[in-house]
Structure 1
Amino acid sequence: MYRKIFWRLIPMLFCCYIVAYLDRVNVGFAKLQMLSDLQLSEAVYGAGAGIFFIGYFIFEVPSNLILHRVGARRWIARIMISWGLVSGAMMFVSSEMSFYILRFILGACEAGFYPGVILYLSSWFPAARRGAIMAGFIVAVPVAGIIGGPLSGAILGGFHEIGGMAGWKWLFLIEAIPSLIAGVCVLIWLDDRPETAKWLSDGEKQALREQLKSDQSSVATHDTAGGFREPRVWLLSLIYFGIVMGSYGIGFWLPSLIADIGVTSAVDVGLWSALPNLAGIVGMLVLARTSDFWRERPLHVAVACVVGAIGLIGSAMAGTSLGVGMACLSLATFGIYAALPVFWTMPPLFLAGAASAAGIAIINSIGNLAGFVSPFIVGWVKQTTGSANIGLYLISGCLLAVALVLVVARRHLAGAPTDSAGRA
């Protein structure tokens, strides 16, 4: 039954997240040409890359509550089609202000996709299976890097000046098209809940209903207000903020960090960027499996954060050594990306129903503010000092702080019931 559900849902959602992530971070490759064309500074790029998450933050909770009310199929399709249109419109950026405005609108359009899928999957899989299931979805992030790096580099180099358009404009236009196609496919393929799935037998629906009901019987917080009152929601929001500092430090700056090591061709930067993302895939799959096997989450995430911090510190110290630099960036990506799927198994341990929709959206929206802070800090530091190293050290410090909090609070985050006031 679970194999059938996995192959029905995960490949589609996996593909959706690949195109979503490409549209979110392809600005990192566009930067290699766009900044000089438009006379924009590194600090402007960092602020524009990050302002995406301001729009994301504002609309995240309302979007997830709407998804909970109207169903995932229609709302995820709406999200994908709208962000595909706005992502394609990035080709018309002509100034600092238009860059900021379109990045903000892109964040507003995408708000609710990621937490919506996390919420959606929690209604199809019981807690004991969610580590591997979340990894099957979130592994799209490094896969997008493996596909998107060489693809973006090839578009930048191969399409530059075709039809009189710069390569970065073609990049935004071409990589927006899959989002529109995927949005239509979601409407055709997804079911809102197990009860409406014609491809499940009545016996399978009953078995799934009983297992999910057994999970939710130990969950104390179900109503929307409870998602706001639950103290673990706010603790996980801060933890996720630190993890996202690392993931978007990698996501937005990996092409520039590789270029700083000494790789000059845009195509070569794209090819080299596949290596750290491959390490990220391995990290996600290995840690998700071991966390499911041991039924333990906080310590797994803490170890992953420490590994990611060590890798970032090493990459800052590597100088222009290509071998050492790429090894350290791969280690950083291994650790940081490995933390993501295991982290997202924790909120459903103590949230259900509308509380889950609100709580997951709160965690994701607050955490993703780091998507603004992280690229802005690295961009400002790089423009001020000529090097991104201090920014990488600051991000590493955030990851180490997260690891410490997880170790101290591990029993509190294990899913013990709380009373109606949110007290353990």
Structure 2
Amino acid sequence: MIVEQTLFRQAVWRIIPLLIVCYMFSYLDRINLSFARLPMEHELQFSDSTFGLGAGLFFLGYIICQVPSALILERIGPRLTIAAIMLAWSVTSFLFILVHSAWQFCLLRIVLGAAEAGFYPAVLYYLALWFPRAMLARVTGGFLLAIPLSGVLGGPVSTYLLHAMDGVLGLSGWKWMFLIEAVPPLLLGGVVFCRLDDGPMTAKWVPASQRAPLAAALAHGKGGENAFVTQIGSGGETGRRASFLAALGQREVRLLVVICFCQAVCNYGIVFWIPTFIGQVIPGSPTATGLYTAIPFAVAAISMTLNARSSDKHEERCWHLAGPFLCVCICLVLTFFVQARGGLALFFLTGALAGALCTTSMIFTLPPYVLSPSTLATGLAWINSLGAIGGLLGPYGIGWMRDHFGSPLAGVFLVAGCALLGAVLTVGGLARRGAVPTSASR
């Protein structure tokens, strides 16, 4: 047992830091246009609604390519899949320097979503191959720290590039931002291909004599909770396809789809617009806005860690999801009413972003408790795919409300309403009906 634990610790340090850096650039690649909104809208001559639509259309390609990405993963393995995805999104980001109209911008956002569709599921699958249940929550939470880190580092860097590179070689600053930030994923894809292995049984750094005990430890530690690992490519068989459709008929799956939808509205609605919101409540240069934007993301990183640890310590999931939802709702409403008081408004925006990212780290801790092992894989597919529609509605809805209601912060009420709905459904639909068992019942 001591040998296996040593190997798991080695795997953590070999795998997790690299995947954090990779996902950090993946997330930055989704949200970096939030820092470039003003120069893009001015140069391409489109409205806030068009910007929000383009930001959200990322999820159209993302949803469409979820299943094909899973099939590719099954055929070529996680290492090659992750490396290929990073190459694809890097090339797509390079193409943004060719954008000269709104339709080109929207089209490339769809393509970018398609390119990145398989990355997050592939990483979850890869982590489930390497780590037992007792460690999986911690390593997944550590991996998800890439989300706030992308804002902490990406905000100041993106705004600096927008200002410093504007006009160099005749290119706008926002085009240089996309160009320069597309380089690291290209290089990291090569690192992934060379450094990662497809699993513990093929890892060259794992001694051959220790592979059998390691496999036994993993099999003992997974149980039904990671049943999706064995079902990842089951969509091709008729019986399993019927099961895939039947899973949507379950009340718990439909409920989690709506909760995940609310989470996506909160997450991407705030993340795509928070530089704009901060620039609205604390007017200043783009560089200053980028630095201010790093504050909410830094607080979110701490909040995600503390919330996840508390959830594990108390063996409780629902209230640790509902609480952040309520935090988003309350903080956004208060932001609207104190928007003239810059520092206080920034404080509440920070609370809203922290709450939104806490819901992101908690949302997929619920399905293993709510769904049976036989429907976990298909249920996760529905929850992730349909819930991601909220990523389209959130950014577009805020842009539309900014254009049509005459208030720069009007869109916060859309996100606040979805956050309140998410909290009510989590508590009323899951916790109160005993959908999540207590530690005694498990």
TM-score, length of structure 1 as denominator length: 0.92
Question: How far, CA to CA, are the matches of 1:205 and 1:284 in structure 2?
Answer: 35
The question of whether the paired residues in 1 share the 8 Å contact of 2:60 and 2:113 is answered with: yes
Partner of 1:17: 23
Partner of 1:216: 223
Partner of 1:412: 435
Which one of 165, 174, 184 corresponds to residue 168 of structure 1? 174
Distance 1:37 1:142, change over 3 A: same
Partner of 1:46: 52
Spell out, residue by residue over 1:111-148, the C-alpha distance to the aligned partner (whole angstroms, 9 max, x if none): 11112212221222233333322221111111000100
Partner of 1:229: 246
Question: How far, CA to CA, are the matches of 2:311 and 2:203 in structure 1?
Answer: 29
Partner of 1:421: none
DSSP-derived class of the 1:130 partner? helix
The question of whether the paired residues in 2 share the 8 Å contact of 1:291 and 1:300 is answered with: yes
The question of whether the paired residues in 2 share the 8 Å contact of 1:194 and 1:205 is answered with: no
Unaligned runs of 5+ in 1: 417-424
Partner of 2:343: 323
Spell out, residue by residue over 1:229-248, the C-alpha distance to the aligned partner (whole angstroms, 9 max, x if none): 33344432221111111111
Question: How far, CA to CA, are the matches of 1:217 and 1:352 in structure 2?
Answer: 5
Which one of 383, 387, 395 corresponds to residue 407 of structure 2? 387
Matched, 1:96 2:105: no
Partner of 1:60: 66
RMSD, aligned α-carbons: 2.2
Which range is displaced more, 291-300 or 246-255? 291-300
Give the partner amino acid of 1:169: K
Partner of 2:9: 3
DSSP-derived class of the 2:181 partner? helix
Which range is displaced more, 105-114 or 206-215? 206-215
Give the partner amino acid of 2:435: H
The question of whether the paired residues in 2 share the 8 Å contact of 1:276 and 1:334 is answered with: yes
Distance 1:169 1:220, change over 3 A: closer
Which range is displaced more, 357-366 or 163-172? 357-366
1:18 Cα shift? 0.7
- Seq. identity, %: 37
Distance 1:166 1:77, change over 3 A: same
1:414 Cα shift? 4.8
Give the partner amino acid of 1:327: F
Give the partner amino acid of 2:103: M
Matched, 1:206 2:203: no
Partner of 1:127: 133
1:220 Cα shift? 7.4
The question of whether the paired residues in 2 share the 8 Å contact of 1:112 and 1:361 is answered with: no
The question of whether the paired residues in 2 share the 8 Å contact of 1:115 and 1:361 is answered with: no
1:88 Cα shift? 1.5
Partner of 2:237: none
1:304 Cα shift? 1.5
Partner of 1:374: 394
The question of whether the paired residues in 2 share the 8 Å contact of 1:30 and 1:156 is answered with: yes
Question: How far, CA to CA, are the matches of 1:376 and 1:343 in structure 2?
Answer: 22
Counterparts of 1:304-323 in structure 2 under 5 Å? Answer: 304-323=324-343
Question: How far, CA to CA, are the matches of 1:121 and 1:235 in structure 2?
Answer: 26
Question: How far, CA to CA, are the matches of 1:100 and 1:346 in structure 2?
Answer: 34
The question of whether the paired residues in 2 share the 8 Å contact of 1:128 and 1:295 is answered with: no
